[in-house]
Amino acid sequence: MHGKPDIVLPKYKTVIFIHGCFWHGHEGCRYYVVPKTRTEWWLNKINTNINNDLQYGKALELRGWKVLVVWECDLKGVDKAGFLTSIIAALKNNEEKPI
């Protein structure tokens, strides 16, 4: 589960991670509720995930990849294909307008 982007767009040198709000500790998200039992164990596990996410993202960025993170809650009720299309459209736009 770790370190593998959910979507890879080699053409745009972009990877997209879709993070589960609970497992990746989406701060301030209503889906991120730490269980009241074995709280420490859960926090430990979630913090390990967050750390891995950061490290893996950094490693990819160092290799010139653009790393996008999408939270599961952002995708709720959203058409995933349409969502992906709009991301690609945004990337295309960026490509045409050099910063």
Closest distance of CB 75 from Zn ion, Å: 9
Q: How many CB atoms lie under 10 A from the CB of residue 26?
A: 20
Closest distance of CB 62 from Zn ion, Å: 27
Residues in a beta bridge with 15: 8, 67
Q: Which is nearer to Zn ion, 32 or 56 (CB)?
A: 32
**Widest CA span in the chain:** 51
71 binds Zn ion (CB under 5 A): yes
- Touching Zn ion, residues 6-65 (CB under 5 A): 21, 26, 29, 31
Nearest to 4 by CA among 45, 48, 53, 44: 53
Q: Which is nearer to Zn ion, 31 or 41 (CB)?
A: 31
88 binds Zn ion (CB under 5 A): no
Region for 13 from its dihedrals, namely left if φ exceeds 0, alpha if ψ lies in -120 to 50, beta otherwise: left
Closest distance of CB 9 from Zn ion, Å: 23
Binding site for Zn ion (CB under 5 A): 21, 26, 29, 31, 71, 73
